[in-house]
Amino acid sequence: MIAAPETSTDKDALIVIVGAGGFIGGALTRYFRQRGHHRIRAVDRKPIPEWYQRVPGVESLCLDVSEPDHCRRACEAATEVYNLAADMGGMGFIEHFRIECLQSILINTYMLEAAHRAGVERYFFASSACIYNTDLQKDPAVRALKESDAFPAMPERGYGWEKLLSEMFCQEYWAERGLKTYIARFHNVYGPYGTWDGGREKAPAAICRKVIEAKDRGTGQIDIWGDGTQTRSFMFIDDCLAGIDRIVHCDDLIATPINLGSAELISINQLVDLVEDIAGVKLRRQYKLDAPKGVAGRNSDNTMIRRVLGWEPCIPLRKGLATTYAWIEQQYASRKAGRPTTRERA
Ligand code: NAD
């Protein structure tokens, strides 16, 4: 179980998590349940058997929260609402499906209104480092991005603009209507129960899967998107959950976007080195220079989170990756043997 921050919610309060059938929402549902919360409503538009995690003792509802009526149902009697629902994926998805990404604006728009009308006390929105000005991310030796770097605005097309506008909605619901909103800008989150195949997976899971496939098939080689010099930081899921809880229960952070990410910068080539090391293999690298690769460099400046919360994501990448690799390897083996994966058994 993850160490508790000091400021957690009343155990009798109704917590609503939308996007709970996905990676972070599913993990957050489990986190609150393990911390003794017994009134949790988990919501996702996917049919319940397809949720990544299903947590016993939780009310699970299949609702589409881009519809106002469904948002009202989701927020009924809620004390806290966590919005982790979005149509999203890794670079391969957000570069090719900008319309789907932009359409997620409906989710936060209607969820905020429903939360406000339901008298919700705290509302969380999952934003992204993709809101940052892309002009500041053209060099792999990037300067870490601080919160004030969002403006002047030039975010990632589609996905980044949706997140930036949704942040503004959250800020105005506080300013004009008094709804306490909390906004975290996640920098690449990874871990068990994340998407690891199918086109929406992000770099850590994709690289783990490709290394596992190369070992299994004996190909001795791996495809890498771009030239491998792109840099990023990656946050393990447990840090993300602890960060969300801390942010939502810190009143200095009402309507104040804050970075939630690791500051451990690494290139994609170094990420492959790490995974190869965990897997005990060395592979030939084939660079796909025409594949989606995103900005040249991106890192999280954690000055603000350290100052306000006295904490920052701290799980070393090597450690989180070893756990993630082991989980994906197990999923891969189950699928190959025709057994249900963890998700399919959930
Ligand atoms: P995910 O795709 O695993 O989960 C998102 C869930 O939202 C899915 O289960 C999906 O079915 C659900 N959803 C989408 N539209 C919906 C709708 N209209 N109604 C109900 N449910 C709907 O993604 P994730 O990685 O868990 O990301 C959670 C949030 O964090 C998203 O807002 C995402 O943009 C944000 N984020 C994630 C990362 C990351 O690295 N994973 C980075 C930055 C921001």
> Could you identify the atom of ligand 1 that is nearest to the CA of residue 107?
18
Mean pLDDT score across all residues of the chain: 94
The crossing angle, in degrees rounded to 10, of helices 23-34 and 237-248 is: 70
Comparing 2-6, 129-133, 171-175, 300-304, which segment has the lowest mean pLDDT? 2-6
Structural domain includes residue 41: yes
In ligand 1, the atom with minimum distance to the C-alpha of 26 is: 26
> Is position 309 within any domain?
no
* Range in 10-14, 41-45, 68-72, 319-323 the model is least confident about: 10-14
- Give pLDDT, residue 345: 53
Give the per-residue pLDDT at 2.
Answer: 47
pLDDT in tens, 16-42: 999 999 999 999 999 999 999 999 999
Pocket, ligand 1, Cβ cutoff 6 A: 18-19, 21-25, 44-46, 64-66, 84-88, 107, 126, 128, 186, 188-189, 195, 202
- Give a yes or no: residue 7 inside a domain: no
pLDDT confidence of residue 342? 67
Residue nearest to atom 1 of ligand 1 (CA): 22
What integer pLDDT is reported at residue 5 of this predicted model? 54
Q: Residue 1 pLDDT more than 50?
A: no
Average pLDDT of the segment spanning 268-296: 93
Residue 221 pLDDT: 97
Average pLDDT value for residue range 310-318 = 97
Mean pLDDT of 297-311: 97
332 tagged catalytic: no
Helix residue spans in the chain (DSSP H)? 23-34, 68-75, 91-94, 98-103, 105-117, 159-177, 203-217, 237-248, 268-279, 303-309, 317-336, 342-345
- Domain assignment present for residue 201? The answer is no
pLDDT of residue 344: 54
Q: What local confidence, expressed as pLDDT, does residue 343 receive?
A: 60
Catalytic one among 110, 159, 182, 190? 159
**Mean pLDDT, to the nearest integer, of 55-64?**
97
Chain center to CA of 228: 22
- The answer to whether 79 and 14 have CB atoms below 8 angstroms apart is yes
Please report whether residue 152 resides in a domain: yes
What is d(CA 256, CA 185) in angstroms, rounded to the nearest whole number? 10
Residues 6+ apart with CB under 8 A from 75: 16, 81, 111, 114, 115, 117, 118, 120
Would you say 278 and 214 are in contact if contact means Cβ atoms under 8 Å apart? no
Read off the pLDDT of residues 35-54 as tens digits, 9 standing for 90 and up.
999 999 999 999 999 999 99
Q: Which of 44, 112, 165, 317 to mutate to test the pocket of ligand 1 (most atoms within 8 A of CB)?
A: 44
- Which CATH number goes with the domain that contains 31? 3.40.50.720
In a domain, 295, yes or no: no
Q: Assess if residue 34 is contained within a domain.
A: yes
Distance 286 CA to ligand 1 centre (A): 30
Any domain includes 102 = yes
Higher model confidence: residue 314 or residue 5? Answer: 314
Compute CA 249 distance to the chain's CA centroid, rounded to the nearest angstrom.
19
Atom of ligand 1 nearest to the CA of 24: 26
- pTM value? 0.95
Distance 55 CA to ligand 1 centre (A): 18
| CA 68 – CA 31 distance, rounded (Å) | 28
Which of 28-37, 92-101, 209-218, 301-310 shows the lowest mean pLDDT across its residues? Answer: 92-101
CA torsion, ordered 226, 328, 42, 168, to nearest 10 deg: -20
Q: Which atom of ligand 1 is nearest to the CA of 64?
A: 19
Choice from 48, 55, 88, 162 to test ligand 1 binding pocket (greatest atom count within 8 A of CB) = 88
Q: Note the pLDDT of residue 137.
A: 86
pLDDT at 4 (0 to 100): 47
Domain count along the chain: 1
How do residues 235-265 score in pLDDT, each as one tens digit?
999 999 999 999 999 999 999 999 999 999 9
> With bands split at pLDDT 50, 70 and 90, how would you rate the model's confidence at 133?
very high
Q: Which two tokens stand for residue 340?
A: 């249900």
Domain that holds residue 91: 15-190+234-260
Q: What's the pLDDT tens digit per position in 180-200?
A: 999 999 999 999 999 999 888
